[in-house]
Structure 1
Amino acid sequence: MSNALAIATVTQALALLIEHNLHPEIDMAVSVETRRPPAEPELDPKITVFLYQVTHNPSMRNNDLVTRAADGTLLKRPAAALDLHYLISAYGEENELVGQRLIGSVVRTLHEIPVLPKELIAEAAERPYLGGSDLAESLQRVRFTPAQMDVDETSKLWGMLHNTPYALSVVYQASLVLLDGHEKPVPAKPVERPDVRVLPFGAPGAPERPSAGAPEAEPERAEETGERAGKQAEEAPPKGTDETRGHADEARKRAEAKQVADARPVTDVAATTNVRATVAKAAASGGARAAKKAEPKARNTGGRSRTRKATGGATGSGSSGHAKDATGHADGTDRTDDGGKS
């Protein structure tokens, strides 16, 4: 944070930074001035530092929107975040490439020391016209970044400088400069006594217990999956006890796979146990129903088999050699009859 003299202080400190770092490449006397480029070409070695634009920093523009309370009390000291745009030009004897040598020194210095040192800020504040500047006490450091400008942008920039011929130059942006307001907020009251309480759920003044939410719906989805598995097992054609059990096992496996694929993971152990018990119960219920449905057919088949055995035993008592053929073959009766006739 700093006062309104921060902008001029940065400009003067930038000129001192360039002037102090010209050597050892430059072995001549060079004047560094904080002014606009001259209207007439200069033959003496000279560098001009010209602040041509001041803009609000886009990332910090709305940082201090809420600065006052509803009653008008100042809560936070307002600060304007600014970016400074500099045009640095070099002049000198063109036959000796003085301007190019000076520009090279400027670029090397700002690339090597991109952050403005505090000692240079303090030295710049010693100027009579900068007395009272407190930029050196600010926690925010000013950094210089080169700006890329094409031919059109450079032409527009030099076009603003009426009757000023173009000179070799570079453009740099200095950020961030914070300008404080005059009014200071009232300091907040200190904490007199820390008060920390720990209360269980349900106690007076304690918050309500958070609801379980989505995991409670998982058993219902598991029950629906188990019912579908039982219906599929009932609709399966009864072909015997073993096959019915196979259908029940397959339905249970499909139900469990469906539960893993569709249902979200249940974090409660009790909910997980209920889901598995419900699925197993539904699958077993489906298998039991299918077994009961298949039982009448199995009884009829067993009755016919016992009738054939009884018939074979009554007619085939005279022939013990053909008694074994009457246990389930359709032609056992004919063989028994032949034996009776003989």
Structure 2
Amino acid sequence: MTATTSIRTSPQKTFSDWANRHRKWLFASPAMIIVGLLIAIPLVWTIYLSLTNSEGSVRSEHDFIGFDNYAEVFADFDRFWPAVWRTFLFTGGVLIVELVLGMAIALLLWRPFRGERWVRVAILLPLVATPVAVGMMWKLIFDPNIGFANQMLAFFGIPAQPWLSGELTALPTLMFVDIWQWTPMVVLILLAGLTSLSDEPDEAARIDGANSWQRFWFVTLPLMRSTVIVAILLRSIDALKTFDILYATKGKGGGSFHEVETLNVYAYGLSFDYNDYGVASAVLIIFFLLIIAIMWAITFRRKEKASK
């Protein structure tokens, strides 16, 4: 009786031991499978559409045309390549300024001071509003006729500026709006990294006679490298796919002269203004590959520095 019971329960015990050893994967696998499907299915469908002449409706009949859509996109020097330039100009510009400002503000908030909590709350206020609401608010502020910005300039005797309505000023103005809203997120990331640092390296450099700038550049910043990389990854991904602020303020095509038309706005126009789903899908796949390449380059450089 005992031998029979042990034989019957041995497979159960074997499975129980295996499940116990791999429990972290068993518990996480349902969520991983769902997330994987949510990523894979739209991606595969977009790749398929990019290889067809689908237009008018995704349910309409379409033919397989191979890489003709990609050739058409790469040959578009009027809209596609300027949109690529604006996308990287917008991303690089806001990323540099947000990192510098974020680090400066994080260093100011690093040490305790009177009213610290209120200052932190005030800094985080831009993150509370949605990007569309932020865009509409700044659109009113930069209105050329009734906007507060031009009224302030007039008070100091400075001529009114076109801001969002100017072909050359629209993109820098929206970069300023993005910096205003998302610098607090960079502050949070960098401040979390600063608070986790030990005081011993800084104290040792202080004893050796290093000034504030030397302690920051040669001690604090190298110790913050991993945190800075995380901030760069998160903000670069987010800035690359910025759409809501641009569309809320400038509308279709990124303005009359496409002055703020990035790849996201360009692909949106192809899809919902012209219903050219094949070409729009090709633009999105190219954009996706560009993002993957940039993220790979950043992480590869991080691993290369870590191995030295």
Calculate the TM-score normalised by the size of structure 1: 0.21
The higher relative CO (CA closer than 8 Å, separation ≥ 6) is in 2
Larger fraction in helix: 2
Which of 1 and 2 has greater Rg?
1
Calculate the TM-score normalised by the size of structure 2: 0.23
